[in-house]
Amino acid sequence: MSSRRRFLQQLTLSAIAVPTLSAYPFAIPIQKTELDTDKPILKVALMGLGGYAERVAEAMQSCSRAKITGLISGTPEKLKTWGEKYQVPEGSRYNYENFDQIINNPEIDAVYIITPNALHHSQTIRVAKAGKHVICEKPMAINAKEGQEMLDACATAGVQLLVGYRMRFEPNTLKAVELREKGQLGKIKFFQGQTGFKIGDPNQWRVNKELAGGGSMMDIGIYSINGARYMVGEDPVWVTAQETKTDFETFKEGVDETIQFQLGFPSGAVASCLSTYNMNHLDRFYLVGENDFVEMQPSTGYGPVKGRTKNGPLNQPHTVHQTVQMDEMAQIILDGKKPILPVDGKVGLQDLKIIDAIYRSCKTGDRQELQLG
């Protein structure tokens, strides 16, 4: 048991920081917002208190429908520091061994899992068995088999499973989707997604297959997969993919450095995408229709996301993504709200099926047919 504790503590200390944080600073200051006490508030425990969890926690100070009421970490010092900062009482602070006890805590409605990819599966199932809703960072799991088991566990427990697809709430992104749905672009023909950055520390968990489940595809390439789906407005029916690797020391067997992949859609539209851990300045979506185009650049960073068509910029207001995400998810869970773009576990599972097929295509060189369901 002590060895497992040390393992999780080591992960928590080194794992959760998002490597591109400095590239996407907050564009507007975050200020404390009063909760809307006329409506139910989603009480959230954060699991994994690293760099991205800190961003989420700060953003949640501006939420009107969600608040931090619990903390889960393998690092006692973090539990103490974060507990004092966010006014979480000691009785709502847990470690990775005892967090099943949240079943007895009425001050926790949901757990936001922000840990390495390989831990999502077991942690989601444990949270579901404790009767709490799950918000899981992307990718939802390291393969579709695990994703399906997570969905099944949440369905059995009668809790919701949502995935941290923050871009599906971003104003310029939703405006681009609206223009496509209204027909301004005409028949969609082509999508291009470019997502990548240089990975940095070669010893981090993101280039450890056992923890990450892969490489750039699991971390940054998934944005192009998910983006292709909501920008084109269809789910792909086939995929082909090619892997390129230049640094065999950092990117060992099973950890992808760069993957190019192509998607085909039922309408005949096609997509060409790039996922990489070896190039900076790649954060662009480009959607082409018969009548117009939408370019998003930056397309997935923390903001401000910018978009334009042939008629000029989209000009939607910038929002702090994690604030909007958590308020929207509170409404999904508590009010039964149907978001414009779904963020449920089924969407996460479909992305995992595509990722599985991409890896198969890289190995075999063959086109992979997709049945996403």
Tell me the CA distances in angstroms from 15 to 12, 85, 119, one per residue in order.
5, 22, 11
Q: Looking at 43, 67, 78, 138, which residue is catalytic? A: 138
Q: Are 177 and 340 spatial neighbours (Cβ–Cβ below 8 Å)?
A: yes
Q: How far apart are CA 257 and CA 336, in angstroms?
A: 40
Which residues on neighbouring strands pair with residue 163, listed in sequence order?
136
Residue 350, classified by CB atoms within 10 Å of its CB into exposed (0-12), middle (13-18) or buried (19+), is: buried
Q: How far apart are CA 132 and CA 156, in angstroms?
A: 12
Q: Looking at 94, 165, 223, 277, which residue is catalytic? A: 223
Q: Is 223 a catalytic residue?
A: yes
Catalytic residues: 138, 223
